[in-house]
Amino acid sequence: MKQVTLLLLFIFSFQGYSQESRIKISGKVRSDSLVVEGAHVINLTSKVGTVSDALGKFKIPVKLYDTILFSDIEFKNIQVIVNEANIYEKYLEIDFQVNINELDEIIIANNMAGSLGLPNSDRDPLSQAERKTNYYKKGGAITKLQGLLSGEAKKRRLLQRLSEEDEKTRTYQIQILKIRAYFKDELFINSLKIPEEDINNFISHCIQKGVIQMYKGERYLEIIDVFIASTESFKKLKNPALAPE
């Protein structure tokens, strides 16, 4: 009966995001943990564009399901469809990969950036040697790291490991936000009695019980069962005085 009540609460509290108006979200563009300055950020749906600043940051108006193009002369173009998690957290982070043979794609992206009046849209594509040189020039931190490490291979392995760890953490955080956005804060606050500031930590507490896999498989009732079963143990972790002696 309790599960049915929670399910009904969830159904009635679920609200779709508005697609009639756009909100401004912020974000960062980087490559291998280095920020990318001057990257073009274009909302293909609304035909509005901007560029990343010296810290790799940008702001652009979006709504749900808009298509955002990220392009830079040195990197492969990336297209992102705005999802509920992006809208909820008002943030989008992009990790470029070094471009090898994407000349036609670069020219198309630059033509589009030029039509929107964005800076640097008239830059000629760099050769592979120029691209590599410019890439390391931007990476002051990498240059210093190279002096501390012995050999290019060791440096690459370290950067790869750091990048993978960072990506794993970012993916983990995004999944938590997606689950929170889907079930709505009202379920956690009103039914499970989880304070708003603890919701992300509570979902994280439930991760080991497989809620991410359940969410990906659209097994929402099972997630609610996990939430119910985990509420008391989470509250005891937050307040050890509640634990039995």
pLDDT digits (tens, 9 = 90+) for 62-113: 999 999 999 887 788 899 999 999 999 999 999 988 765 554 555 555 556 6
pLDDT at 4: 47
Q: What is the pTM of this model?
A: 0.41
Q: Domain check: are 114 and 30 in the same one?
A: yes
pLDDT at 227: 94
pLDDT at 82: 94
Enumerate residues 6+ apart whose C-beta is below 8 A from 33: 141, 159, 162, 163, 166
Q: Domain check: are 120 and 50 in the same one?
A: yes
Whether pLDDT at 6 is above 70: no
Kindly state whether residue 59 falls inside one of the protein's structural domains.
yes
pLDDT digits (tens, 9 = 90+) for 106-143: 555 555 666 666 655 555 555 544 554 555 555 544 44
Whether pLDDT at 61 is above 90: yes
Kindly state whether residue 196 falls inside one of the protein's structural domains.
yes
Enumerate residues 6+ apart whose C-beta is below 8 A from 225: 3
CATH of the domain at 76: 2.60.40.1120
State percent of the chain over pLDDT 70.
61
Whether pLDDT at 166 is above 70: no
Kindly state whether residue 206 falls inside one of the protein's structural domains.
yes
- Point out the domain boundary residue: 109, 128, 147: 128
Q: Domain check: are 193 and 118 in the same one?
A: no
- Point out the domain boundary residue: 128, 149, 183: 128
Q: Domain check: are 117 and 182 in the same one?
A: no
Structure tokens that stand for 168 in this block: 């794993």
Kindly state whether residue 154 falls inside one of the protein's structural domains.
no
Greater pLDDT, 57 or 136: 57
pLDDT digits (tens, 9 = 90+) for 191-243: 999 999 999 999 988 988 999 899 989 999 999 999 999 999 898 887 765 44
Q: Residue range 44-54: average pLDDT?
A: 89
Per-residue CA distances from 61 to 41, 82, 91, 95, 174 (Å): 11, 11, 11, 20, 20
- Region of residue 130 (left: phi > 0; alpha: psi -120 to 50; beta: else): alpha
Enumerate residues 6+ apart whose C-beta is below 8 A from 221: 3, 7
Kindly state whether residue 155 falls inside one of the protein's structural domains.
no
Structural domains of the chain, count: 2
Greater pLDDT, 96 or 164: 96
- How many helices and strands (H and E) does the chain possess? 9, 8
pLDDT at 77: 87
Q: Domain check: are 198 and 119 in the same one?
A: no
Q: Domain check: are 29 and 121 in the same one?
A: yes
pLDDT at 173: 82
- Point out the domain boundary residue: 78, 99, 128: 128
Kindly state whether residue 245 falls inside one of the protein's structural domains.
no
Domain boundaries, position 181: 170-240
Task: Give the sign of the dihedral formed by CA 15, CA 18, CA 23, CA 26.
Answer: positive
